[in-house]
Structure 1
Amino acid sequence: MSRVVAALLAAASCAPAAQAEVPPSAGQPSIAPFTLEQALRAAGVASPSVEAADADLRAAEAGRAVARLKPNPEAQLEVENVAGSRSYSGLQSAETTAGIALPIELGGKRSARVALADAQVDRARIAAAIAEAELQRRVTEAYIDTASSERRIAIAQQEADFAAAGFRAATARVTAGAASPIEQQRADVIRINANLALEKAKREAEVARGSLARLIGQSVSGPLDDAWFEKIGTYGPAEPVAVERTLVYAAAQADFSAVSAQVGLARSQRVPDLTLTAGARYFSDTNSTAAVVGLSLPLPFFNNGRASVDQAEALERAASSRRRVAAVEAEREIAEAQAALAIAAANARAAGGPGLDAAMEAARIAAIGYANGKFTQLDLIEGQRTLAQTRAAYVDALAEYHRAEALLMRLTAPARNSGDQP
C-alpha cells in the first residue's frame, strides 16, 4: 500500500505546466531548444510567398527602368516610281528616300510614366513587407500549436499515470476487501481511456510539428523553447499606435498614390506627340539628291483622352475612400487586438497561479485519502480530472496569449521606408 501512495503523490506533485520534454540526466549533455527566432529565419529563406513578393518587387523596379526610357527613333526607307508603265518601268525613274523618324513626347508623358512606376515600386515593396509579416504570424502560430500540443502530451501522460496509479490502488483495495470490484473495473476503464487520449495527443503533436517543418522548409528536431512559451509579458494601458505607419494603411496609401499617378499619366496623354522626320531622297533619272524633312501631329478629333482622365479620377476618389476605410479598420482591429492581448495575459497568469496550486493540492489530498480509505474513488477521479483540466486550461491560456500577441504584432508591423531593402 505504501508504494501506491508514493506513486500517487509523485504524480500529483508534478510541475504546474507539465513540461513537454524530459530534462536530461546529469551525465547527458542538454539539447539546445529550437527557438522561434530560428524558425522565423528558416522560413524567411524557404518561403515561396516571400520569394514571390520579392520577384514582384524586382519586376516593378524593372518596370521603373522601362518607364524612364525615351521612344526609339524609326528608320525609314521608301522607293517610289518603280514597276510602272512606259518611262516608269524598271528603276530608271525611281525616287529612293531614306530617313529617320524621331518621336517627341509632349505633355510630360515620360515624367508621368516614371511617377506611376515609382508608385508601383512602393506598392510592391509594401506587398513584400506584408508577405514577410504574414509569414511571421503563420510561423509563430505554427510554433505555438507545436509547443502547446507537446505540452498536452505531458498532461495526457500524467493523466495516464494518474489512471495507472488509481487502478493499482483500486486493485489493492479490492484485494484487501476494502472496496467493491466495480471500483477496479471503473479504474480500468479510466486507465484505458487515458492511454487512448495519450496516443491521440502524440499524433496531434506529430501533425503540428510536421506542419511547422513544412512551413519553414526544414525538419524540427529536439525540444522547443519552453521558456518562451511560459513567458507572459507585462502590459499596462494600451498605448496609441500611429495607424499611418502600419502596413495596412501604407498599402492603402500606396494604392492611392498609384491611382493618382495614373491620373497624371492620363492627363499627359491628352497632349498629342510630335514626330519629326529627316532624310535624303535620291532621283535615279537625274542622279541627284535632295533633303527631306517632315512633321506629323495626331489630330484628337475622336479620342481626346477626356474619358480616360474621367476614369482615372473616379478611381482616385475610390482609392481615397478605401484609404479612409483602411485607417478606421486598422484603428478598430488594433484596439481589439490590444484588449484581447491584455485579457489573454490576465487569463494566462490566473490559470497558472492560485487555481493551479489549489487543483494540485486537491489532487494530492484525494490521492492520499483514497489510498488510505478516507475518500471514495469518485473523489479521487474528480480531483485528478480537475487537476488535468486546470493544467490543460493553463496551456490553452498560454497559447491564446501568444496568438493574441502574434496578431497584434502583425497588425502593428511598421511599413518599410522606400529606401529599405526587402
Structure 2
Amino acid sequence: MYRIVVALVAATSCVAIAQAQEVGTESRQISGPLLTLDEAVALAGGSAPAAEAAAADVDAASAARRVAGLRPNPALSVEVENFVGTGPYNGVNGADITASVAIPLELGGKRQARIAVADAAAHRAQIAQAIAQADIRFQVTELYIQASAAEVRVAIAEDQYRIAGDTARAATIRVQAGRASPLEQERAEVARLTAETEAEKARRLADAARASLARRIGRPVTGPLDVAVLGGPGSGTMGPPRPVSAAGTLALAAADADLATADAGVELARSQRVPDLTVGPGVRRLEATNDVAAVFSVSVPLPLFNNGRAAVDQANAERRRADAQRRVTALDIEQKISDAEVEAANAAAAARVASGPALSSAMEAARIARIGYREGKFGQLELLDAERTLTEMRSASIEALASYQLAKARLERLTAPAPLEGN
C-alpha cells in the first residue's frame, strides 16, 4: 500500500509539470540520472573530512604499533683520558682512548606492555573509523529522506495547483452560464492563488533540501531522487518489544576499547617500576704501553625520588574511570535504543493510519467531488472541503512516512554492529 501511495503521489508530479504552463506556474527543471541513497552515501564517504580524519587516525595507530615494538637504540661513546695536562701528560701523546657501546636492556616486560597499549589504541582507532562511517551514512540518510519527502511535497503542491486551476476555470464557466454567482468564481480564484503560493513554497524548500544534500555528498544533485525510500512499514503489527541490549553496538565497543586501553596502561605503568640495565662493553687503548684492554660497565638507575608508584596510581584511577564510563555508556545506549524503538513503532502506526484506507478514501472523495462539481451536482463548498481534506491527508501521509524512515534510520545507527578486532 505504501509503495503504491508514494508512486502514485510521485506520478502526479509528471502531470503537474506537464500542465504547469497552462495554469501559469513555473516548473522546476530536473535532469540527470537517478541518485540512489546508496550512491549518495558512497559519494559522501569519499569526500567527508570525518572519514579522512578517521583513516588518518588508523594509519597513525598502525605506525604507533610499529614504534612500540622497536627496541631502544644503543649509544656509542668515546672517552679520551690523560691529555692536555702537566708533566708527562702535556699534549695528546699520552692520551688513553676508550671506545664503548652502551646497550639498554629493558626489564619488567616494558616492550610487551608498550605493544599491548599500541594494539588497544589501534583497535580503538578502527572502531572510531567505523563510528565515523556510520555517522556519515546516518547523516546522508537523513538528508536524502528529507529531500525525497520535499520532492513529493512539490508533486502534491503542483498537483493541487493544477486542480485549483481546473476548478477556477470550471467556476468561470458556471458563472458565465448563469449557474453560479460571481462569489463562487472569486472563491475559486483565491483557492488557485493559495495553491500557487504553496507550490512555490514547496519548490523553494525542495531546492534547499537538495542543496543541503549536495553539500554533504560533495557534488550537485541534478537528477531525480528515489522516493521509494519513503516506503512505509508493513500492514502487520510491530510485534512484542525486543530485549534491549547494548552488546555489540559501536558505542559500547568504543567504551570497551577505552577500558582495554586503560588496562594496558596499568600494565605499562607497573612495568616502568622495574629499573632497566645499561651494559657497556668497550675497548681501551693504553698509550703508555701501547696495549689494548677490554672494559665493561653496568649501570642501574636508583629509584630514590621516582619509584613509579604515582604513575601506577594514576593508571589505576584512569582504569576505574574507563570502567565507570563503560557502565554509563551501556545504560545510555540501552535507554536510547528503547526510546528509538518506541519512536519507530509510533511512527509506523502513524504511517499506517495516514497512508492507509483514509488516504484512499480522501482521494476518491475528491475525485467524485470534482466530477460532481463540473456536472453541477455538488456545490463549491463541498468541492473545496474535499480538496482541503485530500491535501491534509496527503501532507500527513508524507510526514508520517518520512518520520518513520527517519526513526528507523536513528534506530539502525544506534544498533550498528561494531567491527571485529583485527578487521
Amino acid at match of 2:9: A
Structure 2 Cα separation of the partners of residues 127 and 142 of structure 1? 23
Task: Give the aligned residue type for 2:138.
Answer: R
Please name the residue that 2:28 is paired with.
none
TM superposition shift of 1:316: 0.7
Instruction: Supply the distance in 1 between the matched residues of 2:319 and 2:396 (Cα, whole angstroms).
Output: 50
Using the aligned pairs only, state the percent identity.
51
Please show how residues 329-408 of structure 1 align to structure 2 within 5 Å: 329-408=332-411
The CA deviation at 1:241 is: 5.2
Q: Is the 8 A contact 1:19 1:151 kept in 2?
A: no
Which 10-residue stretch deviates more, 255-264 or 283-292? 283-292
Q: What are the superposed Cα offsets for residues 177-215 of structure 1, whole Å, 9 maximum, x if unpaired? A: 343333333322332232222122122222222322332
Maintained 8 Å contact 2:79/2:99: yes
Instruction: Note closer, same or farther for the CA distance 1:14–1:352 as it changes in structure 2 (3 Å cut).
Output: closer
Q: C-alpha offsets along residues 146-174 of structure 1, whole Å, 9 cap, x if unaligned?
A: 11010001111012112212221222233
From 307, 311, 316, give the equivalent of 1:308: 311
Alpha-carbon distance between aligned partners in 2 of 1:381 and 1:172, rounded to the nearest angstrom: 17
Q: How does 1:204-353 map to 2 (within 5 A)?
A: 204-233=205-234, 235-240=238-243, 242-353=245-356
Matching of residues 144-159 of structure 1 within 5 Å: 144-159=145-160
SS class of match (1:22): helix
Quote how far apart the aligned CAs of 1:70 are. 0.7
Over 3 Å counting, the alpha-carbon distance change for 1:21 and 1:298 in structure 2 is farther
Distance (whole Å) between structure 1 residues aligned to residue 6 and residue 307 of structure 2: 82
Change (3 A) 1:309 1:281: same
Distance 1:394 1:69, change over 3 A: same
- Per-residue CA deviations over 1:229-253 (Å, capped at 9, x if unaligned) read 2253564323335522111110000
Deviations 1:106-128 (A, max 9, x none): 11111110110011011001101
Structure 2, unaligned runs of 5 or more: 19-31
- After superposition, give the CA deviation of every residue in 1:304-341 in whole Å (9 maximum; x if it has no partner): 11111111111111111111111111111112212221
Aligned match of 2:83: 82
CA distance in 2, matches of 1:230, 1:409: 16
Q: 2:123 maps to what in 1? A: 122
Task: Work out the CA distance in 1 between the residues paired with 2:86 and 2:387.
Answer: 114
Report the Cα distance in structure 1 between the residues aligned to 2:275 and 2:13, rounded to whole angstroms: 74
SS in 2 for 1:96: strand
* Contact kept in structure 2, 1:126 and 1:416, CA below 8 Å: yes
Confirm or deny that 1:101 pairs with 2:102. yes
Supply the AA of the counterpart residue of 1:64: R
Map 1:137-216 → 2, pairs under 5 A: 137-216=138-217
CA distance in 1, matches of 2:195, 2:287: 106
In the alignment, structure 1 residue 17 sits paired with structure 2 residue 9 = yes
Distance in 1 between residues matched to 2:226 and 2:288, nearest whole Å: 93
What is the CA deviation profile of residues 359-393 of structure 1, one whole-angstrom value per residue up to 9, with x for unaligned ones? 22332343344444554433322221211111011
1:205 alignment partner AA = A
Residue in structure 1 matched with residue 48 of structure 2 by the alignment? 47
Per the alignment, do residues 374 and 20 of structure 1 end up closer, same or farther by CA in structure 2, a change over 3 Å counting?
closer
Q: In 2, Cα distance between the equivalents of 1:114 and 1:273?
A: 18
Amino acid at match of 2:275: P
3-state SS, counterpart of residue 295 of structure 2: strand
1:241 and 1:412 in contact (8 A); partners too: no
- SS of the counterpart of 2:247? helix
Q: Could you tell me how far apart the structure 1 residues matched to 2:146 and 2:187 are?
A: 33
Report if aligned partners of 2:6, 2:231 keep a CA contact under 8 Å in 1. no
Q: What amino acid is aligned across from residue 240 of structure 2 in structure 1? A: P
TM-score, normalisation: structure 2? 0.89
Q: Are residues 19 and 332 of structure 1, via their aligned partners in 2, closer, same or farther at CA, if it must alter by over 3 Å?
A: farther
Contact 2:263/2:319 (CA < 8 Å) preserved in 1?
yes
CA contact under 8 A between 2:232 and 2:348: conserved in structure 1?
Answer: no
1:143 positional shift: 1.2
Q: Distance in 2 between matches of 1:78 and 1:168?
A: 108
In 1, distance between residues paired with 2:274 and 2:244? 45
Deviation at 1:100, TM superposition (A): 0.3
CA–CA distance in 2 between the matches of 1:20 and 1:396? 18
Amino acid at match of 1:71: P
* 1:8 aligned partner: none
Unaligned runs of 5+ in 1: 1-12, 26-30
Instruction: Please identify, of 14-23 and 197-206, the stretch whose mean Cα deviation from structure 2 is larger.
Output: 14-23
The C-alpha deviation readout for 1:346-367, integer Å capped at 9, x for no partner, is: 2112111121122223323433
For the residues of structure 2 that align with 1:186 and 1:366, how far apart are their CA atoms? 16
Q: CA deviation at 1:84?
A: 2.7
How many residues in Structure 1 have an aligned counterpart in Structure 2?
404
